[in-house]
Amino acid sequence: MNAIASAPFTSLRMSNVWQGYAMGIVNSRLVGNVHHNEIITNGGFDNFGISVGLVRTADNLFIAHNNRITNLGGTVKTVGISMSSTENFTQQGILTNNTIFSAGVAGAGIFINNWRGSTVRNNTITTAPLMSGIELTNGGESLIKCNNVLGSGRGMSYSLSGENDIVSNTCNQTTHSIFFSGNCFGGSGTFIGKNSFLSSSNYSSLYDGGAITGQQHHDQYNNWMPVVNIDKAFHAGGPSRAIFCQFHAPSNAIQPSVHWPLANPWDLFDAMGSPPPPVSDDCMPGGDGGGDYSIYHRTNVQASEFYNTLITTEGYFDEFTSAQAASTRQSIFELLIQNPSWRSTYSSLDSFYNVHVNSFIGSSSSLHLQFSNFVGTLYNQYQSLLPWYNQQDSLTFILHSLDSLLQNETDPILIASIIAQMNVLVDQIDAINITIENQIEMNEAINAALINNLQSLNTSLSLNLPHEVNEKNLNNVILKLFRQEVLTAADELTVRAIAQTCFADGGRSVFGAIDLCIVLFKEYYSQLDCPLDLGHEELQVRNKKSESIRIQPNPGQNESTILLPDSYRESKDLSLVLYDQLGNKLNVYIRSMDDLTYKINLENIQSGVYYLVISDEHGMESSKILVHK
């Protein structure tokens, strides 16, 4: 798919659309280019400039370069560019030199989920205050470099995304410049260097209680400006966990200074680094391009030492929610499966493995890897068929060429010769078709057996806690997609409910559900309104209000009653607004009966599906209202 404007921002221009480009790839491979487009979206409840969703496919290539994307008003959730996949596999996503402006209530300038190995470079992103500039979930091994983010709630947000290179980005006038959640170390650590975190209204660098990036013990110092006498970096996990994200500052630096801001806890920094090297601007034309940052990552041996130290740190998992602890342990267990030598090197890692191998941690981790392996099998099957498809295409081209010659030929001898050649080609193409069909039939039998095995393993998972139920239910939905079955309304409700749960409460399946909502429904759900208790108390999770909001009757005809949960009783800036499916705000009368009860007049509303958006000082959520006349 190529959408390359011959006249930049003119020959390919669209406006007043819900979505610019929406690409869904199932059991196939995408090679896509979107260059020099002008995309202006306006309307629709969820709104995307460019969206790429992958199901059962790997090693896709998508390039978005030098596009101008504007998400205007009239929408609730907006995403400039989204790249999502049902399984965490290496893809080739390249987003460069795009200018993105998003004015939604929630969303992200760039959202990447399950696209390992992406490049996000030289983009200029401006978003509304409750959005993220660049958001990666399960988006490891990626280069995020030389981007400029302005005005976001979180300039850059990384959840369960390890082994990234985050280099020379500028985040200006954001609430938080950079945010980390969960294990962002992966197999070799994340490199965070030469970034400028400017004028954040709150903590410039914010880590949730379970965030792990790896120590930043290098001299490619980041800048926290302006220098102020308040904390600009915070790790909610306290000293025992902050040490695993620690930054070096120059040994001759004073605190606070540009490379050594005030931090809580103080263990998030130490002043043991070498003097700053000469300033180099690798974002200018002629700079170092992608850059090689491998020296700032851990070797396999160093990674095993890192995790051995982590799991033997006294009290490391204390005060985690059960979902946070499970997510971290699952990530470590999967690495132990992939690196069995770690267990023979460190007895503590071997004990960790043996303790969890027959528990939900071990079983779910093994299953998670097998899901990825299944996508790898599909890719290998595609690769094995590719030479046959190429040969088929080549012979078909020759056949068409001969057919063209035949139409203009009058010599009987030459006509007979061409027909003979064409008959030979037809026989060869038929033989190739039979080979392809036989291979596909064999592959389908293999895949059915693999899916049945995955289903059996998922069915056998022992469950005790809500986040475990979430993961099993989400696996069932993914298995349906693997079998190419149509999801039921109950399946869709399950995915949406998990996507609206906070990570600290719902575990790693939350990000999988967020991804599926984008791939399947083009709906974005944010974690931005999942609060951290900054007083070192237990991490608080967002009330799952959407499950307890009641609308009666629903469907309604002339009037319905809205019953809010008790969590809204003390809301100071409560707002209830009704939108249609185009994202248009509707002029309806909503009157308050008491603190938690409202009546909505539907007399002038036509039959259809509508969205009630409820917001207060803590965040925003929506609930469907059906009208039937």
pLDDT band per the 50, 70, 90 thresholds, residue 528? confident
Of 47-61, 218-232, 429-443, 581-595, the one with minimum mean pLDDT is 581-595
**What is d(CA 368, CA 461) in angstroms, rounded to the nearest whole number?**
12
Indicate whether 540 pLDDT > 60: no
Indicate whether 536 pLDDT > 60: no
Indicate whether 553 pLDDT > 60: yes
Helix (H) or strand (E) holding 534: none
Which value, in Å, is the radius of gyration of the alpha carbons in the chain? 27
Number of CB atoms found within 10 A of residue 50's CB: 28
**What is d(CA 101, CA 23) in angstroms, rounded to the nearest whole number?**
21
**What is d(CA 573, CA 565) in angstroms, rounded to the nearest whole number?**
16
Q: How many helices (H) and strands (E) does the chain have?
A: 11, 36
The whole-number average pLDDT for the span 477-496 is 91
3-state secondary structure (DSSP) of residue 575 = strand
Are 207 and 237 contacting, i.e. CB atoms less than 8 angstroms apart? Answer: yes
pLDDT band per the 50, 70, 90 thresholds, residue 73? low
Q: What percent of the chain has pLDDT over 90?
A: 66
Number of CB atoms found within 10 A of residue 287's CB: 14
Q: Which amino acid is at 569?
A: R
pLDDT at 75: 61
- Measured CA to CA in angstroms, residue 129 lies from 74, 103, 107, 206 at distances of 16, 9, 10, 16
Buried b (16+ CB within 10 A) or exposed e, 587-622: ebeeeeeeebebebebeebeeeebbbbbbbebbbbb
Any idea which residue has 């998992």 for tokens? 317
- Measured CA to CA in angstroms, residue 387 lies from 117, 400, 427, 430 at distances of 26, 20, 18, 15
The pTM score is: 0.84
Query: Structure tokens of 555?
Result: 């469907």
**What is d(CA 449, CA 228) in angstroms, rounded to the nearest whole number?**
61
**What is d(CA 442, CA 267) in angstroms, rounded to the nearest whole number?**
57
Q: Which amino acid is at 170?
A: T
Indicate whether 534 pLDDT > 60: no
The whole-number average pLDDT for the span 65-84 is 86
The whole-number average pLDDT for the span 140-163 is 95
pLDDT at 77: 80
The whole-number average pLDDT for the span 107-122 is 94
pLDDT band per the 50, 70, 90 thresholds, residue 617? confident
pLDDT band per the 50, 70, 90 thresholds, residue 547? very low
3-state secondary structure (DSSP) of residue 36 = coil
**What is d(CA 505, CA 210) in angstroms, rounded to the nearest whole number?**
13
Indicate whether 353 pLDDT > 80: yes
For residue 76, which of 479, 612, 626, 467 has the smallest C-alpha distance? 612
pLDDT at 288: 54
Are 88 and 118 contacting, i.e. CB atoms less than 8 angstroms apart? Answer: no
Indicate whether 74 pLDDT > 60: no
pLDDT at 224: 96
Residue of higher predicted confidence among 172 and 47: 172
Q: Which amino acid is at 122?
A: N
Any idea which residue has 């006294």 for tokens? 314
Q: What percent of the chain has pLDDT over 70?
A: 95
Indicate whether 86 pLDDT > 90: no
Indicate whether 100 pLDDT > 80: yes
**What is d(CA 90, CA 60) in angstroms, rounded to the nearest whole number?**
8
pLDDT tens track for 380-420: 998 999 999 999 999 999 999 999 999 988 899 999 999 99
Are 206 and 179 contacting, i.e. CB atoms less than 8 angstroms apart? Answer: yes
Are 42 and 14 contacting, i.e. CB atoms less than 8 angstroms apart? Answer: no
pLDDT at 567: 80
pLDDT band per the 50, 70, 90 thresholds, residue 368? very high
**What is d(CA 63, CA 32) in angstroms, rounded to the nearest whole number?**
6
Of 450-454, 459-463, 551-555, the one with minimum mean pLDDT is 551-555
* 172 CA to centre of own chain: 23
**CB neighbour class for 377 (10 Å; exposed up to 12, middle 13-18, buried from 19):** middle
pLDDT tens track for 260-314: 999 999 999 999 999 988 877 788 765 555 678 999 999 999 999 999 999 999 9
* 391 CA to centre of own chain: 37
**What is d(CA 298, CA 349) in angstroms, rounded to the nearest whole number?**
18
**What is d(CA 381, CA 367) in angstroms, rounded to the nearest whole number?**
21
Are 51 and 82 contacting, i.e. CB atoms less than 8 angstroms apart? Answer: yes
Are 142 and 558 contacting, i.e. CB atoms less than 8 angstroms apart? Answer: no
**What is d(CA 464, CA 203) in angstroms, rounded to the nearest whole number?**
36
